[in-house]
Structure 1
């Protein structure tokens, strides 16, 4: 097959519920990492459109702003000789429009003849389904696989079937609105005869098998349903608008990406982590995404808390890294997980998710005043804090540590979970059990939250949790502070030796409000120094430290959610200008990434006129990367909402550079909804409430 294109094709993604599709800019599924996936299984692994033997030429491709529709515009290369009813290059326009709905892809292929003679257009399709588990696609090798049955063809297309080793029969199909003719195994052709100026449409569907066959009415009905579902998700929560068109585009794209990644589960809305590798419920990612968006959409936090409480561990399992009270890290539905070839069917190997779960519950109650939900969660919160206390009691230093219980699990169980992410100043990898500095901050926040909640539900235990929080704080200050660096170390290893490395992890201590003012200021100063701040965001590891590498996954790259957490922490310490600077860097990076910030990008210093350097296999979109835009904006505006008392607190607000006003539309405050307006007024930013004629919501502004 001739391609004629030397440059690699961009990948585009669509998602609906537990299905997602990764295809190239032509609309083809052809590369090893592409496919149509349902429940962590690739049910279609090849779906290519050719014009005869030739790949069409790409004109343009994009996903619509609402993330519902992928559209590619193509044209023909020279087909066959003119006297055989062919066409010179560029006379046939082909538009591919597709969307996902109910675990199926619907596509319309429109052909238009701009030539002056009737043209024969051979639409050829190459089709296959390998039913590979997501982890196989990612590179895992299996000793044995199930039985892949031969494709079944009929008048309208192909059906593919696979009998898994887990006893599950999986099936998919590719069907057409016109009967195709077989050309070769897995290859069919539909010939369209186009008169001059004529337009013809072909409808195709791929995915789980359903009754009926493709048609215009079916395409339109399903498209209408897909758009309604997306609009419903996008209407949730408050909306941000400003006088800056590009800034508004970033806000809208981030909101659309969160809507795309959010699935409606029986427990409520839940943001899946990212596409392609992490389109499934993760614990830590969802909690942080919920914290990022809590001020705008508390309903997402409620859905996350309810789901995680439902799946809280009840018993010990070394293979799953589970223990009573622990909150899950990840859940999968594929064959390999079902067979326990990997532990990720319902896996608990994350040390930080449990304290973050408690912290989110406390933040949710403050934001909404919803005591009924938190009271329902109270047994899960008690079990979670009891797990934290058991782990801390077993550690000689009284810290929340991790050490994987199974060789099949994750070696590192903080958010930087790659194998080389925890190391000493001389480059040695740390050996467990490991106590990460930011995890101790989360544990402190969890204990403090339980003390606050305990004042309502268990006053006697509240004093106990307050004491434990104070003790943990003292231990952190004693064991992790590095006076010679005026900074906190990364971790304590199993021997109690400090990993004396400067990393962004320390910025998370500012987020939970743990360090005293002098130390917080010292950390903030370094985070904004050239060693950390690239001009686009905060590096995960400071330049000059051992193992620093700007193109690594966790040891010198920039993670937007990490930068946003650091920015929020610095804002809480009163360093609002740093948050504004980080927001500006993130926004300007977003402009280079087509307004969709990836999971991470390389940690090279910003140079004039050059864009940020992409990380080649970053998830895009990714939930906590999209959510970082809203956390950064909140940090700049200094907004905190007290739902129970229907009060908005605004502290020393700053607007993004070049933006004169920001309006947060339809902001829920208790049982009221208002518009919160920020407007530049000389050297200050004024804040006021619009749409509250009865004065039911209070606004307290401190400058």
Structure 2
């Protein structure tokens, strides 16, 4: 997923971490100036004195990607509302009501007597819901206690938003006030908002009392109605004249409805794919994180307009509320303990869009799984970026798709559904050994040849993410370390599927995996200051990019490293240079490119940490897994249990609480899914339905305390899994033909193959 937070000049250490792009790199640079809007106004960020307040001759003022960290975000995909903590949606920046890729309201500010009430509280109230309490202190009695309060309750729906405004008086006399709702609509595309730009407001019109409407050139229409309100087109504004009886209350209602005929995503036609899963734990933070995360995951469910019965998770709000191959796959994989239906929908959606031809402009290739889907081209003209509506610029989605199919099969996805997807798997395998290895050196690598795509196409896809230990940026083609692990895992798991379903080719892919393992061991391992470890990547000259990064943690559980090599990786990942923050740093603090607020070179990503927790737990390194899990739980507490996409990699003894990365998506699918991964790691629940077994191997010593999870699903059956304070694991509710196996450690590296 691409973000690359532009021009984050408010933190000097971020600027220091930025290096110029190498020749030929095409990703969005971290500190390029961006042009102003037509009227010279820069949206979305404050000027930095002495640096950009007064542009030079012919130089446009710089503009900034808007900050998100302190906004209240309510979402029920494909609609989301971003507001201040007072509930106000103010013009400028990123605030607004969005539908799919378009902002349909850029302002919704509530005033009483032309004044803004003062905020005192807000809270999320479930999927799509938020509540705000504000005080108009000029109304009511003049004493120190507020005697008139306003409760603003918001509910985002798949097609818009409704709000209830309740005004309550504790005054013994009547209170009168004029309530207005100032509105604006600009139909700004999400990429315009993301780059700190703005669109011109659209004119409002009306066709009935209490109604305002706007319509775009692309036939998107938003209609706002206020029950009992007077509509003023010229403002545009809704107005209510209110009289509160002594100690009385008045309730006002307004709603926004969106008609968006060209949207490519919609709300799913089917009910939520998982039931009322519940977790109780000695560490109550885990329970709170699990509950909030399930609410957010419900709110991120999407389907294609053309296939509303196949659900996938939109990657994140606000920038990525659409289909993202890598993100949607990882989220579905992490949620397998809740059932296989989401995985099945995700697999089918991506299989239907699997590449069938070579197209350098989009990155499409036969068998390749796509990266992202948009309504229109995603264009950042000032940075030379132009991504087509269906973009395939990803090196890892294809092997991850294969592994998701296998893991869903192990968790009990019906065999006929698996069989239907095997031709797509075979096409994906051919891509692994073919177009993914352009120079035929046996490794998967990428390079953008278009000049307007993503320069980096792994999960760390910002332009400066692949660096040597001394901070220099690597030049492509790039062969990423974790991608080789994904390919090794995918080949082995695919061979198992081919054998089980009586299809040819299993031996070929076993041999492919063995050869890849030998090549990897010969070319990727480097000596670092803290010991021997796999390099981040190989560059265009096949030199190991020797930075110590979190990427190597993704190898754990794939079977690619040996037991001894896994132990070396685990030790480095648990070292202070990597793990002294609230999770796992993306880059070691000892590396030249490190900055705690760098997008991919020192920050902490929730999903990245969770993937490594799962790998550590499966590989038998429970202490390291538990340390990282405790870091995420501490971070969750600071973020009101809605873990963001990423946050700062500051050491815990340097900051009281994690520092937000101010442009991080929140909620985000694979960040929310991390809660399920932590629960599964604690329980050690690993089914293999085709073999008729369910293995229990909880974290040694129960470092997270006793944990019980009800409503998990194995082979469609609702089960309860638990580990008590002594470390004894149990599971109930399984189909009678499944046998439970309790293990302390897997007996050999082959058993590290993931079962979800």
TM surpasses 0.5:
yes
CA contact (8 A) 1:9 1:25 kept: no
Q: Which of residues 112, 120, 129 is equivalent to 1:59?
A: 120
Q: 1:530: Cα distance to partner?
A: 0.5
Alignment correspondent of 2:263: none
* Superposition pairs of residues 493-532 of structure 1, within 5 angstroms: 493-532=539-578
* Superposition pairs of residues 550-589 of structure 1, within 5 angstroms: 550-589=596-635
Alignment correspondent of 2:739: 698
Q: Deviations over 1:611-659 (max 9, x none)?
A: 1222111111111111112212322332211223443201254475463
Q: Which of residues 101, 119, 136 is equivalent to 2:175?
A: 119
> What is the TM-score normalised by the length of structure 2?
0.82
Alignment correspondent of 1:11: 71
In the alignment, does 2:695 pair up with 1:649?
Answer: yes
Q: Deviations over 1:190-226 (max 9, x none)?
A: 211112112111110113269xxxxxxxxxxxxxxxx
Rounded to whole Å, the distance in 1 between the matches of 2:147 and 2:69 is 23
Q: Which of residues 214, 218, 236 is equivalent to 2:275?
A: 236
In the alignment, does 2:201 pair up with 1:155?
Answer: no
| Aligned alpha-carbon RMSD (Å) | 2.9
Q: Deviations over 1:369-417 (max 9, x none)?
A: 5321121111111111111111355324221110113222111100000
Q: Deviations over 1:533-552 (max 9, x none)?
A: 02421110011111110111
Rounded to whole Å, the distance in 1 between the matches of 2:378 and 2:625 is 43
In the alignment, does 2:363 pair up with 1:321?
Answer: yes
Rounded to whole Å, the distance in 1 between the matches of 2:578 and 2:388 is 34
Q: 1:555: Cα distance to partner?
A: 0.2
Q: 1:264: Cα distance to partner?
A: 4.9
CA contact (8 A) 1:509 1:515 kept: yes
Q: Deviations over 1:125-155 (max 9, x none)?
A: 211100000101101769xx89945544742
Rounded to whole Å, the distance in 1 between the matches of 2:645 and 2:682 is 22
Alignment correspondent of 1:303: 345
Q: 1:480: Cα distance to partner?
A: 0.6
Q: 1:468: Cα distance to partner?
A: 1.1
In the alignment, does 2:229 pair up with 1:186?
Answer: no
Rounded to whole Å, the distance in 2 between the matches of 1:335 and 1:436 is 27
Q: Which of residues 612, 629, 638 is equivalent to 2:658?
A: 612
SS at match of 1:596: coil
Q: 1:188: Cα distance to partner?
A: 4.0
CA contact (8 A) 2:268 2:302 kept: no
Q: Which of residues 271, 282, 286 is equivalent to 2:324?
A: 282
Rounded to whole Å, the distance in 2 between the matches of 1:507 and 1:387 is 25
Q: Deviations over 1:135-180 (max 9, x none)?
A: 01101769xx8994554474213111221xxxx2222122110132
CA contact (8 A) 2:220 2:259 kept: no
Rounded to whole Å, the distance in 1 between the matches of 2:202 and 2:234 is 19
Alignment correspondent of 2:481: 437
Q: Which of residues 239, 252, 260 is equivalent to 2:291?
A: 252
Structure 2 residues without counterparts, runs of 5 or longer: 1-66, 261-266, 745-756
CA contact (8 A) 1:638 1:650 kept: yes
SS at match of 2:180: strand
CA 1:671/1:602 → structure 2, altered by over 3 Å: closer, same or farther?
closer
Q: 1:426: Cα distance to partner?
A: 3.1
Residues 438-447 or 337-346, more deviating: 337-346
Alignment correspondent of 1:41: 102
Instruction: Point out which structure has higher relative CO (alpha carbons under 8 A, 6+ apart).
Output: 2
Q: 1:230: Cα distance to partner?
A: 12
Bigger fraction of residues in helix: 1
CA 1:598/1:557 → structure 2, altered by over 3 Å: closer, same or farther?
same
In the alignment, does 2:396 pair up with 1:352?
Answer: yes
Alignment correspondent of 2:491: 447
SS at match of 2:316: coil
Rounded to whole Å, the distance in 2 between the matches of 1:568 and 1:658 is 14
Q: 1:341: Cα distance to partner?
A: 8.5
Rounded to whole Å, the distance in 2 between the matches of 1:417 and 1:119 is 57
Residues 31-40 or 413-422, more deviating: 31-40
Q: 1:606: Cα distance to partner?
A: 0.8
CA contact (8 A) 1:321 1:348 kept: yes
Q: Which of residues 640, 643, 661 is equivalent to 2:686?
A: 640
Alignment correspondent of 1:216: none
SS at match of 2:473: coil
In the alignment, does 2:156 pair up with 1:110?
Answer: no
Task: Name the count of aligned residue pairs.
Answer: 664
Q: 1:450: Cα distance to partner?
A: 1.9
Q: Which of residues 76, 98, 105 is equivalent to 2:136?
A: 76
Rounded to whole Å, the distance in 2 between the matches of 1:71 and 1:253 is 16
> What is the TM-score normalised by the length of structure 1?
0.88
Residues 310-319 or 48-57, more deviating: 310-319
Structure 1 residues without counterparts, runs of 5 or longer: 1-6, 211-227
CA contact (8 A) 1:93 1:111 kept: yes
Rounded to whole Å, the distance in 1 between the matches of 2:636 and 2:238 is 42
Rounded to whole Å, the distance in 2 between the matches of 1:454 and 1:337 is 41
CA 1:322/1:209 → structure 2, altered by over 3 Å: closer, same or farther?
closer
Alignment correspondent of 2:375: 333
Rounded to whole Å, the distance in 1 between the matches of 2:163 and 2:413 is 46
CA 1:486/1:510 → structure 2, altered by over 3 Å: closer, same or farther?
same
Alignment correspondent of 1:474: 518
CA 1:410/1:358 → structure 2, altered by over 3 Å: closer, same or farther?
same
Alignment correspondent of 2:434: 390
Alignment correspondent of 1:197: 247
Residues 101-110 or 429-438, more deviating: 101-110
In the alignment, does 2:442 pair up with 1:403?
Answer: no
SS at match of 2:435: helix
Rounded to whole Å, the distance in 1 between the matches of 2:269 and 2:137 is 36
CA contact (8 A) 2:93 2:196 kept: no
Q: 1:458: Cα distance to partner?
A: 5.7
Residues 638-647 or 522-531, more deviating: 638-647
In the alignment, does 2:595 pair up with 1:543?
Answer: no
Q: Which of residues 675, 679, 682 is equivalent to 2:724?
A: 679
Q: 1:110: Cα distance to partner?
A: 1.1
CA 1:54/1:147 → structure 2, altered by over 3 Å: closer, same or farther?
closer
SS at match of 1:680: coil
CA 1:538/1:246 → structure 2, altered by over 3 Å: closer, same or farther?
closer
CA contact (8 A) 1:75 1:89 kept: no
CA contact (8 A) 1:560 1:600 kept: yes
Alignment correspondent of 1:378: 422
CA contact (8 A) 2:377 2:388 kept: no
CA 1:391/1:183 → structure 2, altered by over 3 Å: closer, same or farther?
closer
Q: 1:481: Cα distance to partner?
A: 0.4
Q: Deviations over 1:218-263 (max 9, x none)?
A: xxxxxxxxxx999953853743323443331121112222112122
Q: Deviations over 1:70-122 (max 9, x none)?
A: 11111213159x9xxx9998332211112122412111111122222222211
Alignment correspondent of 1:91: 147
